[in-house]
Structure 1
Amino acid sequence: MRSTIVSAPQPSIEWPTLAIMLGTYAVFCLGTTAAYALSPALAIAMTAIAIAQYSSLQHEVLHGHPFRTQWLNEALVFPALSLTIPYGRFRDTHLAHHFDPNLTDPYDDPESNFLDPEVWARLPNWRKRLFVANNSLLGRMLIGPLLGNALWLRNEAHLVLNGAGAARRDWLLHLGGLIILALWLYFAQMPVWAYLLAAYLGHSLLKIRTFLEHRAHERSRARTVIIEDRGPLSLLFLNNNFHAVHHCHPQAPWYLLPSLYAKQRAQFQKRNDDYVYRSYLQIFRLYFLRVKDPVPHPLMPYGPEAQDQRQVKQTQGVSA
């Protein structure tokens, strides 16, 4: 499914993205300095929003925006505002995630929230309860940043300690971004504890976006959601709520996604088998306190006949 809008030549500078980038840095700088003297709570909220927006901008950058020169794009998001996710690792894992036939696979999709049913069966009850709680929207926002980062950092440590050269390089570069952030905070008014809280809240906001982006479905094209929202969260996530459109046109800049969807609305909804929500408000109403998906992947082969395939994936990927 392709659109003539995306095939048209793109400008050498995408000014809407650059404007959002400048605005995000401005909010971040204000939140960590003058705003903190006025109201610590306001400053923490502003900084959290800036961190979440910054992650959305990193997503735009890894897809080739706002300039045609990629090293210049990546220089724009070098500071490590989100603390725990090196840009290079985000780039590589997210681009791997874009291989749609692997979407939601616990081993082959780096962004899957499902577990292998056999792994799930071996977990102690307290861990099962934790993962189940994480599958409501409230749980994803409250404990999701802690659980997600714990699993992410464990897997990254495994890669770094076992000689993965690309991972080591990206973490070294991330250290440089952390030094820039540390120097800024040294001279800024916001204390470290407040910044850590803001970073946690920023990750919590991002969990709203990723909560139901993908579902288990036999057809890969029907695994990706569309949320017809044009409100503040849509802007915060740079229209990534039109996620099925983004997966069809990963090189399209964020500001074209709504028009791409509007021009082919019926086709997109048919393509993703009506995995559609009207707004984030609808999602909050449905799933704030209710678990949406099971933790073990409901379509993954289970039992002795799948053992050989599972062992191959465990040696190639990172165990859940």
Structure 2
Amino acid sequence: MKIRLADAVLLALVAVIAVFAFGLFPAIVPHSLAADVLFIVVMGATLPLHYGLMHETMHGNLFASEDWNRRAGRLLGITMGYPWETMRFGHLAHHGFNRHDYDRPESWREGQGYFAKSLQYYFQLVIGNVVLYVLAPLPLLLPVSTTPAVVKLMDQSPEMEWFRNAAFRTFTNPQKRRAIRIDLLCTVVLFAFAIWMWGAQWPVFALGIAARWCVQSVLDNAPHYAMPLDSGRDARNTTFPRPLRWMILNQNFHGAHHHSPQTHWGELPALYAKMNVPLDGSWFTAQARQFRGPVRLH
């Protein structure tokens, strides 16, 4: 098991936060409004780090061993509420076919009413992306014989045939199905244990998880919002306060990451410097920009 010191420290930090979140916090911290608010804020603010480490495992960048990347990624996914295998499938599809039909939620197409599209878009932006992450693995609880029927429920356009074929291959794989089912069971047990530990204060825990899911949902498409349909591997590179970049694992250099997904997060600043492209505003502005709403893409 080979891992960089910085990654080991950040993994340990995320593990400590998880231990507090899933039971230790209500056991040792006196209940008060200030404590509740602090918990919710910390849960939301540390989501980029938690997911960032999971993201590194998807690309095989956290550990030298593929097995250890998978183990760590699955544990990180369980504590977030969604299985690593389904998240990895969707994320690698995003890298392989950037801006495909499922990958441009802000696209306002011809014939769509703006009001209806806006309702759908803002729901997806604020929480809907993660709702999809949570619900997508559930069909894997059904017999494998139902997989073709589930796949047929996806977008039936010829352009998305590659996605349907990839989903069928991935989710009929016995090892992946078993891993997803185990992770779902572990998630249910862990979250039930946390609710029991929080007791009458369980809504505070629920709000903490909701804060994480909302942050995750907003972050999901921010570096690609309103970019051209043919943007290929391009994504926005933005500014972020240097001393705090570890909190987002340098994902303000998202364009650099897309050009070289196997580059470790610690090396992204140097990679960006070699690209000789301008920064596109701040990371925070990129998040806020999405609230402009649906746009026409060309």
Pairwise TM-score range, normalised by the shorter structure: 0.7 to 0.9
Alpha carbons 1:229, 1:280 under 8 Å: kept: yes
Residue equivalent to 1:22: 12
Instruction: Identify if the C-alpha distance between structure 1 residues 113 and 258 changes in structure 2 by more than 3 Å, giving closer, same or farther.
Output: same
Q: Residues 201 and 41 (structure 1 numbering): CA distance in 2 closer, same or farther, change over 3 Å?
A: same
Any conservation in 2 of the 1:36–1:189 contact (CA below 8 Å)? no
Could you say which residue in structure 2 is the equivalent of 1:40?
Answer: 36
* Identity fraction in percent: 19
Matched residues in 2 for 1:36 and 1:70: separation? Answer: 42
User: For 1:103, which of 92, 98, 113 is the aligned residue?
Assistant: 98
Provide closer, same or farther for how the CA distance between residues 50 and 29 of structure 1 changes in structure 2, counting only shifts above 3 A.
farther
| CA distance 1:210–1:154, shift in 2 (3 Å) | closer
The counterpart of 2:252, out of the listed 232, 237, 241, is 241
Say yes or no: does 1:199 pair with 2:209: yes
Which of these residues, 114, 120, 130, is aligned with residue 131 of structure 1?
A: 120
Please name the residue that 1:173 is paired with: 182
2:218 corresponds to 1:227 = no
Matching residue within 249, 254, 264 for 1:253: 264
- Deviation (angstroms), 1:157: 4.5
The equivalent of 2:45 in structure 1 is 49
What letter is aligned with 1:104?
R
Tell me the TM-score normalised to structure 1 length: 0.68
For the residue of structure 2 that corresponds to 1:19, the secondary structure is helix
* Matches for 1:5-20 after TM superposition, within 5 Å: 12-20=2-10
CA apart distance, 1:198: 1.1
Distance across 2 between alignment mates of 1:158 and 1:55: 23
Q: Which residue of 2 aligns with 1:279?
A: 282
User: What is the CA-CA distance between 1:132 and the residue it aligns to?
Assistant: 4.5
Q: Does the aligned pair in 1 maintain the 2:256–2:271 contact within 8 Å? A: yes
Task: Provide the rounded CA distance (Å) in 2 between the counterparts of 1:72 and 1:186.
Answer: 31
* Structure with the higher fraction of residues in helix conformation: 2
SS in 1 for 2:101: coil
Distance 1:153 1:77, change over 3 A: closer
8 Å Cα contact 2:222/2:290 also seen in 1 = no
Q: Tell me: CA distance 1:220–1:19, structure 2 relative to 1, closer, same or farther (3 Å).
A: same
Task: Mark the CA change 1:225 to 1:27 in structure 2 (over 3 Å): closer, same or farther.
Answer: same
Structure 1: gaps of 5 or more residues: 1-10, 300-320
CA distance in 1, matches of 2:285, 2:133: 29
Per-residue CA shift, 1:38-73, capped at 9, x if unaligned? 612112222333444221111011111332122223
Give the alignment's Cα RMSD to 1 decimal. Answer: 3.3
Distance 2:14 2:200 in 1: 17
C-alpha contact (below 8 Å) 2:87/2:133 kept by paired residues: no
1:203–1:236 distance in 2 versus 1, CA, 3 Å: farther
SS in 2 for 1:226: coil
Say which SS state the counterpart of residue 186 (structure 2) adopts.
helix
CA drift at 1:184: 4.8
Q: For structure 2, which runs of at least 5 residues remain unmatched after alignment? A: 148-170
The one of 139, 142, 149 equivalent to 2:130 is: 149
1:216 aligns with 2:225: no
Task: State the one-letter code of the partner of 1:89.
Answer: T
**Could you tell me which residue of structure 2 aligns to residue 306 of structure 1?**
none
TM-score, normalised via structure 2 length: 0.72
CA contact (8 A) 1:35 1:42 kept: no
CA distance in 2, matches of 1:90, 1:183: 24
The equivalent residue for 2:109 is 117
Residues 73, 88 of structure 1: alpha-carbon distance in 2 compared, 3 angstrom cutoff: same
